[in-house]
Amino acid sequence: MAEETEMLDPRSSRTRIRSILDAGDAMAGRRVVVGGWVRAGREQGHGAPDPFAFLDVNDGSCQGNLQLFVKGEVVGYPLARLTATGTSVLVEAVVRRDERAKHGVELAVTRVLEVGEVDAAAYPLPKTKTGCSLDPAYIRDFVHLRPRTYLISAVTRIRSELSFATDKYFRENDFLRVHTPIVTTSDCEGAGQMFQVTTLFSQAKKLEAELKENPAPSQADIDAAKLSVKAKGDIVAQLKSAQATKEEISAAVSDLKKAKEDVLTMEERSKLKPGIPYREDGSVAFEKDFFKCPSYLTVSGQLHLETLACSLGNVYTFGPTFRAENSHTSRHLAEFWMVEAEFAFANLQDDMDCAESYVKYLCQWLLDHCQEEMEFMVKSQDKEAIKRLKMVSSTPFERISYTKAVDILKDADGKFENKVEWGIDLASEHERYLTEVVFKKPVIVFNYPKGIKAFYMRLNDDQKRVAAMDVLVPKVGELIGGSQREERLDVLEQRMLDAGLPLEQYDKYLDIRRYGTVRHSGFGLGLERMILFATGLENIRDVIAFPRYPGRADV
C-alpha cells in the first residue's frame, strides 16, 4: 500500500492506539495522528549525525504500548526531550510493519505536533519493563498519576467495562435506570455510620467574619436608635398638627418608617452569636440548617428504590454511596459505588435467580471484552483470575440455608479466628471457606437470623429468620446482599419499633405498604468488590480512581 502524503488535522484525525494494534498489518502505510504518554524511551546514536529514538507510547485505550520511531532530523531538537517516562507526545506518523516490534507494527514519525516535557529526576513513576507492575502501595501515594501505570490503567478499563455491562444487563432484562438521592434523612442500614451534610459550620464561619467586620450593635446603640424613632414620630405629629403639605408629611413618614426598620435590624443583629446555633435544651438547632433537619450522605438508595419499584416494576440505580466507618482495612472505603436493583412481584427465589444471572453476565463480559487486561492480571496479580471468571460464568451457584452453612462451618471448628455459632454474622473467613474449600464455587446463603439483618427484610413464618440472601464468591466473600422486602405494614412497623427507628421519619416509606402493597425484592452489588474478585487485587483502594478513606480526601 502506498504511503499517504497529505497533512492531517490533529483535531479531527487522532487515532487511538487500540485501533492500530487491533488492525495490525491492515493499517500498514496509513498516515495517522497519535497522542499518548511515553512509558519507556531510548535514544540511539546520540552525538551522531543521524540520531533516532524509540518511544513506547500508551494512550489509555488498551494495555499494550505502540512503538514510535523518531529521527532526530524530524524534531530539530535533542531527542532527550521526548524519551523521559511520562512525557506526552502528539505525532503524525506512518504505520509500518516491523517484526521486531512487539505487536508487529510501529509508527515512523513524520511530524511531532505537541510535546509535554517531564523532569525525569522529579517524575515519581519509574520506567518499568513492558507488562510489569509497580507496587500498588507505592503508587497509591501518587493517585493523580497512577492511571498511567499498567496496573491502574487496566483496572480502570475493567471498571469501565463492568459499568457498561451493568447497564446492558439490566436494559436487556427490562429494568429502568433511575437516580436516587445522595442526600437523605434516613439510615437505610440502621448502623448510624453516616456522613452528615450541613451548612451550619460554613454559616458560623461566615457570621464570625461578618461580625468581625461589622460588629453587632450594643444595647446603647439600640436605645439611641429608639430615641431617634421617637423624635421622628414627634416630627410627623407636629407636621400633621400644623397641616403641612402632603409631600412634607409623606417624606417625614418615610423617614420614620426607615428608622423603625433600622431598629428592628439592629435588634436582630444584636441576637447574633458566632458558632453553631443551639436550642435551649442544648441540642443543635437544625431548623437553621440548609435542609431544616439532620441530613446525611446516603449509605444506600434502597428505600427510595423500593418506592419506585412499587410504581414502575423493575428498577435499578448505580451510583456512589458513603459510610463513615473509621476503618483502615483493605476492604473498606468511605465512598464506593453500588449497583442496586429492585423489582416488584418478586420473592426471594426471584431475587437469587437475578443476582446469580447478573454476576455470571459480568464475568462473561470481562472474558469477552477485557482479554488483555485479564491476562495482565494473571501475570502480575493473581494467576487464577481468568480461571475464576470462567468457573463463575459457567457454573451453577450452590444455594444453602444459613443454618446449613453454620453446620458446615462447625464441622471445621478450630480453623477460624471467629467462633461459629447460630446467630452470628458470618465473617469473611467463613464466607471464603464455604466458597474456596467446601464448594469451590459461588455460594448463595439464604434465610438469615433476623437479629443480624436489617429491619426491611421479610420476616419468615418461624419469626426467627428473614428472607435474606448473600451471594458469596471465592477470593472476596460477600459480593451481593439482598432480600425479599417486608410488604406487611403491621409487621414492618413492629420491626422498626424493635430497631428503635422513629416511624414518623419513615412515613412515606410505609405508605407503599398502605397503598397497594406488593411483594418485592432487591439486592445490591458493590462495584469495587466485583473488581477485587475479578482482578485478584488485595486492597480495595486500588480499584477506584480516587479512593476516599480515613485521612484521605485531598486528591
Q: Is 539 left (phi over 0), alpha (psi -120 to 50) or beta?
A: beta
The pLDDT tens digits of the residues spanning 488-526 come to 999 999 999 999 988 998 999 999 999 999 999 999 999
DSSP state of 65: -
Write down how long the chain is.
Answer: 555
The pLDDT tens digits of the residues spanning 319-365 come to 999 999 998 888 899 999 999 999 999 999 999 999 999 999 999 99
How many CB atoms neighbour CB 121 within 10 A?
Answer: 6
pTM of the predicted protein model: 0.88
The rounded percent of the chain whose pLDDT value lies above 70 is 96
The pLDDT tens digits of the residues spanning 20-66 come to 999 988 899 999 999 999 999 999 977 677 899 999 999 999 999 99
- C-alpha 168/C-alpha 180 separation (Å) is 19
b/e code 42-61 from CB counts within 10 Å (16+ = b)? ebeeeeeeebbbbbbbbbeb
Q: How much is the average pLDDT of 169-193?
A: 88
Q: How far is CA 500 from the centre of its chain?
A: 30
User: Residue 183 in contact with residue 291, Cβ under 8 Å?
Assistant: yes
DSSP states along 255-309: HHHHHHHHHHHHHHHHT--SS--B-TTSSB-GGGSTTSS-EEE-S-SHHHHHHHH
Q: Which helix (H) or strand (E) holds 197?
A: strand 196-197
Residue 26 has, within 13 A of its CA and on its CB side, a CA count of 6
